[in-house]
Structure 1
């Protein structure tokens, strides 16, 4: 069975490679070079990694603000999909959030990504009647290629 564990600095290159493959259209502020240092500064215990030998083959990240939990960056290498690894990663983050007192987890899926929506529905998540809104702040707020999810 593929082990799931907390992220360590030596995982960076593997996570960056995986995210480039799984999220090729991500905006610059969601890429590993920006997102991982930001996550490590706030609740690093919710950044989990799955490895097959030395290779990073999965990630999941979460956060908790005291009211709601969030699930981010669930990624599984194409070679390891449909084997239950994604579900295990989500469940591992859920367990950590629940242990912190989190009673509800939110996540966002890009419109039109029916496969991913179906995956989350199989884990008990449902589409809620919400409008997702966002605003970029600070250094990544403007300029070409920095707007979007």
Structure 2
């Protein structure tokens, strides 16, 4: 897998990947999410490609205090081969180069497989509650 920065030509394949991996939700328009990312720290949006096909993605962000990871996805037929870990490492290296001291990742508590994946990468649950407020509705 070649891990590289996102290019506009990847948009449709990335959205399809997210849908295949069950990452899209009715209240989050994936096309708008990509456009928003391209407006802020686009250098922290990576894809994994094999023979011209996008098989993985990750978005990262850094606000000067903490880093965040979003849309880590690996196509089901390519999971378990280290591609997700490779993209996480790419994101971690990029964030570390920016001076990012800590990463926060939101994972649904019911998603045991993903929690186990992050645990294997050295991540652990923090004693926090995630709260949110929608400022711009996508629907």
Normalization by structure 2: what TM-score? 0.96
User: Can you list the C-alpha shifts for 1:14-35, whole angstroms capped at 9, x where unaligned?
Assistant: 1011001112552332x42111
Give the distance between the partners of 1:69 and 1:32, measured in 2 at CA: 21
The answer to whether residue 77 in structure 2 is matched with residue 65 in structure 1 is no
Give 2:5's aligned residue: 6
How far, CA to CA, are the matches of 2:88 and 2:55 in structure 1?
14
* 1:83 alignment counterpart: 81
Where structure 1 has 5 or more consecutive residues not aligned to the other structure, the ranges are none
Task: Tell me what 1:18 maps to.
Answer: 17
| Bigger RCO of structures 1 and 2 (CA < 8 A, at least 6 apart) | 2
Partner of 1:111: 109
1:28 partner SS: coil
Secondary structure of 2:117 counterpart: helix
State the Cα RMSD in Å.
1.3
Pair 1:99–1:24, CA change in 2 (3 A) = closer
Alignment: residue pair count = 139
Cα distance in 2, alignment partners of residues 135 and 27 from structure 1:
16
